[in-house]
Amino acid sequence: MNPRINKVIPNEDYTLILHFTNGEVKKYDVRPLLDKGVFSQLKDLAVFRQAHVSLGTVEWPGEIDICPDTLYEDGFKIN
């Protein structure tokens, strides 16, 4: 099992800075998802900025979330 998220910082460019429980920090680009299903709601930057940690992953209003394994495996390490 991959580590889980304990802190998220949403950026104006639709990327997330993710702090994982193993101490790693990664950047994840949400832009490729913005035209897919429920993720289109995140095009509204005010909604995107409401990203928060819930149960070890990132969640937005309306129970929109991304699998924590996807965030870990597809994120780009920045530390």
CA distance 14 to 1: 26
For residue range 35-65, what is the model confidence (pLDDT) as tens digits? 999 999 999 999 999 999 999 999 999 999 9
CA distance 45 to 62: 15
For residue range 2-14, what is the model confidence (pLDDT) as tens digits? 899 999 999 999 9
pTM: 0.95
Query: And the tokens for 7?
Result: 């802190």
